[in-house]
Amino acid sequence: MILYMTQFIAVFAGVYYLLPNLILRRKTLLADAPGILLTFDDGPCQEVTEEVLDILAENDTNACFFVLGEKAKASKELMARMAREGHSIGLHGNTHRHPLSLTPKEQWKELSEAYQILAHLGLKPRYYRAPHGFYTLSSWLFCLNNGLEIVHWTVLAEDWKIGEAKSLTQRLMNRSAPGRILVLHDGSEGKADPNANHIMPAALKAYLKNWRAQGGLLTPWSDYEKN
């Protein structure tokens, strides 16, 4: 009996956890994109997201925001501004609980609640990125059932760590290349330093200036959607 139970647990873990992450955690690289693409996780956060939207407007580009349902519900005007200014909305969850802490039923409920919140705001998410970048069979099936494209990332800038904006700007420069999908965090969740996301906008602004000064390009997220 113990042997069978052990085998069952091993098979379940392989199918439910291991397989989705082997397939879905691929580092997305868009070979035909001339510039980097910007994405933001864990928001919206009123002050930080407002500043990010201002910076994106100044640079005449758009991004994809992977939002949390509870935060979106509390920031209706901010979500409306995202949509109005041509940014894409991605689903990140309702809260930021790690998928490992959720049963399959709880994970489905978590995503369903977030999806319904966005629907009530008049928004239809097209993409999904898992909290902590950790996927499960439940989240995968939810995406298939609701027509959501799973978008991982290429560049992690570690902007959840507190530090100087100058250091974050340099990391972004060092890790950028055409066709890479860059993820930053306009919200503060999990093990992130609660003040780190407030440093990010200044680093982002300097990075975009420096990136363009050396001939780097930005690929608007709307161009990604055309492909």
- Look up 41 and say whether it is catalytic: yes
Q: What is the pLDDT of residue 198?
A: 92
Residue 210: its H or E element: helix 196-213
Q: What is the pLDDT of residue 69?
A: 98
- Structure-block tokens of residue 197: 């996301």
Instruction: Give the number of C-alpha atoms closer than 13 A to the C-alpha of residue 137, restricted to the C-beta side.
Output: 12
- Look up 120 and say whether it is catalytic: no
9-13, 25-29, 219-223: which is most confident? 219-223
Q: Are 68 and 42 in contact (CB under 8 A)?
A: yes
Per the residue annotation, which of 96, 185, 186, 193 is the catalytic one?
Answer: 185
Nearest-angstrom CA–CA distance, 152 and 66: 11
Question: Percentage of the chain with pLDDT > 90?
Answer: 81
- Structure-block tokens of residue 18: 């291991």
**Owner of token pair 């009123």:** 46
pLDDT tens digit sequence for 119-153: 999 999 999 999 999 999 999 999 999 999 999 99
Class of domain 2-226: alpha beta
Q: Is the pLDDT of residue 2 over 80?
A: no
pLDDT tens digit sequence for 20-78: 999 998 877 787 899 999 999 999 999 999 999 999 999 999 999 999 999 999 999 99
Per the residue annotation, which of 41, 42, 159, 186 is the catalytic one?
Answer: 41
Q: Where are the domains of the chain?
A: 2-226
Nearest-angstrom CA–CA distance, 70 and 67: 9
Higher pLDDT, 120 or 225: 120
CA distances from 216 to 25, 29, 53, 161, 225 (A): 26, 16, 20, 26, 21
Sheet holding 181-185, edge to edge: 149-150, 127-128, 88-93, 64-68, 37-43, 181-185, 155-156
pTM attached to this predicted model: 0.94
Nearest-angstrom CA–CA distance, 76 and 61: 22
Beta bridge partners of residue 156, listed in sequence order: 183
- Structure-block tokens of residue 84: 């109005």
Q: What is the pLDDT of residue 61?
A: 95
Angle at 20 between CA 15 and CA 22, to 5 degrees: 105
Q: What is the pLDDT of residue 32?
A: 84
Instruction: Give the number of C-alpha atoms closer than 13 A to the C-alpha of residue 156, restricted to the C-beta side.
Output: 8
Under the banding of pLDDT at 50, 70 and 90, the label for residue 8 is low
**Per the omega criterion (within 30 degrees of 0), is the bond before 44 cis?**
yes
Residues in the chain, total: 227
Nearest-angstrom CA–CA distance, 60 and 45: 21
- The amino acid sitting at 166 is K
Q: What is the pLDDT of residue 122?
A: 97
